[in-house]
């Protein structure tokens, strides 16, 4: 991968300059009009990053990928996702927002810039040639992504939706607060990016935002393609429903939950825009959370992950403040740890085109002295006719 961070002006050298990525300086934009009231003229500069990146004339380029300075990318997954598309064709790939009102105001057919978007080389080369003249027609638009969308639309190209770019689907993250519900219900595709993490609560309890991201990347380093992939299985003995968001968290519902309900996004977050009404509507299946914390499923967050001789092991434990909930021996709150066994996920071309969720099994605990405190689960591929369903 090659690239640089575009700035308005050069930065002063310092002791930390050597740790920075390559820096590119944006061109002058004073000749362009900008008429969106209370908007930022820098949107024009950011839009022109596309043509200025093409002008760098790097060799052997297949894709150009753009994102904001607060976008976290997952490089291996990005490459994997783009590999299923023919880079010789004209592609504009990204995702819309998880917020209904954001899509309504801007467009369902626009790749939101914070989530990041990809443009194939042949399309980017043509777009770069016509971009400046096209920008002259859109002084009234708000952002850079709206301008890119407008000009690509004029070329007759539509958006290819790819939910791995987080808008939620990550992730533009047009919401704030607690991101747990979003991350625990990531769609059935590799995670490509996360946005606005600095404007949300840290994704792990008792950690700073930076430490949380570093903690997540411990799992990403071990098995990037499996990160956040949701797997659901059922404990027949206790009638529990276990939802695993690999590398992040495990939820255990103390009762049977239909699969389609277990996959819903829990509304642990709040909308980016205040005011209620349409501002609180989302373009995804959501479920309200219980007001009483003791009625919510206990959550076990990633503790550590490591490679073993027979695959990958990850450990999840309770974190955060104690809820002081009363429970009995039939409650998952008695557990202290969840161990998950899996193999490193290597998705093939056809699996990317037609993904299928994995299955999992609750195993007899190997920790005999404390078996009632530890749950062990193995994730595996489902059989041809195997169903994921609760057992009555």
Helix (H) or strand (E) holding 145: helix 144-154
Residue 324: which pLDDT band, with cuts at 50, 70 and 90?
Answer: confident
DSSP state letters, 49-113 = HHHHHHTT--SS--EEEE--TTEEE-HHHHHHHHTTS-TTS--EEE---SBHHHHHHS-TTS--G
Residue 197: band (very low, low, confident or very high) from pLDDT cuts 50, 70, 90: confident
pLDDT of residue 365: 72
Q: Is the confidence at residue 168, as pLDDT, over 50?
A: no
Mean pLDDT of 201-224: 96
355: phi then psi, degrees, rounded to nearest 5: -70, 150
Give the integer Cα–Cα distance in Å for 282 and 96: 11
| pLDDT per position as a tens digit, 246-269 | 999 999 999 999 999 999 988 887
- pLDDT, tens digit (0-9, with 9 covering 90-100), for 348-367: 999 999 999 999 999 987 65
- Paired with 253 in beta bridges are 241
* 3-class SS of residue 153: helix
Residues 6+ apart with CB under 8 A from 377: 233, 242, 244, 250, 338, 339, 340, 341, 360, 361, 362, 363
Domain boundaries, the chain: 5-161, 224-381
């Amino acid at each position: 991968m090659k690239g640089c961070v575009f700035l308005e002006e050069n930065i002063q050298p310092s002791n930390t300059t050597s740790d920075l990525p390559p820096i590119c300086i944006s061109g002058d934009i004073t000749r362009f009009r900008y008429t969106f009231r209370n908007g930022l003229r820098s949107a024009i500069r950011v839009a022109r990053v596309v043509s200025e990146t093409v002008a760098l004339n790097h060799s052997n380029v297949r894709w150009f990928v753009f994102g904001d300075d607060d976008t976290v990318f997952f490089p291996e997954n990005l490459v994997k996702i783009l590999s299923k598309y023919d880079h010789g064709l004209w592609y504009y790939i990204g995702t819309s927002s998880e917020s209904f009102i954001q899509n309504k105001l801007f467009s369902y057919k626009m790749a939101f810039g914070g989530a990041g978007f990809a443009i194939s080389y042949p399309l980017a080369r043509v777009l770069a040639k016509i971009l400046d003249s096209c920008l002259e027609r859109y002084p009234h638009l708000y952002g850079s992504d709206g301008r890119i969308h407008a000009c690509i639309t004029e070329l007759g190209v539509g958006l290819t939706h790819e939910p791995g770019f987080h808008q939620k689907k990550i992730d533009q993250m047009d919401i704030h607060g607690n991101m747990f519900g979003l991350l625990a219900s990531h769609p059935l595709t590799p995670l490509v990016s996360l946005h606005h993490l600095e404007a949300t609560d840290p994704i792990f309890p008792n950690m700073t935002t930076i430490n949380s991201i570093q903690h997540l990347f411990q799992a990403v380093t071990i098995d990037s393609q499996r990160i956040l992939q949701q797997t659901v299985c059922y404990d027949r003995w206790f009638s529990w429903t276990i939802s695993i968001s690999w590398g992040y968290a495990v939820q255990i519902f103390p009762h049977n939950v239909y699969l389609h309900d277990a996959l819903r996004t829990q509304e642990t977050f709040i909308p980016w825009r205040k005011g209620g009404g349409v501002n609180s509507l989302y373009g995804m299946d959501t479920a309200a959370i219980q007001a009483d914390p003791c009625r919510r499923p206990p959550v076990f967050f990633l503790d550590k992950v490591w490679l073993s001789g027979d695959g990958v092991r990850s450990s999840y434990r309770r974190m955060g403040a104690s809820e002081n909930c009363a429970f009995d021996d039939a409650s998952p709150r008695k557990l202290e740890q969840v161990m998950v066994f899996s193999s490193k996920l290597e998705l093939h071309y056809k699996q990317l085109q037609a993904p299928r969720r994995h299955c999992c099994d609750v195993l007899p605990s190997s920790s005999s002295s404390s078996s009632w405190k530890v749950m062990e689960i193995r994730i595996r591929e489902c059989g041809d006719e195997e169903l994921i369903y609760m057992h009555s």
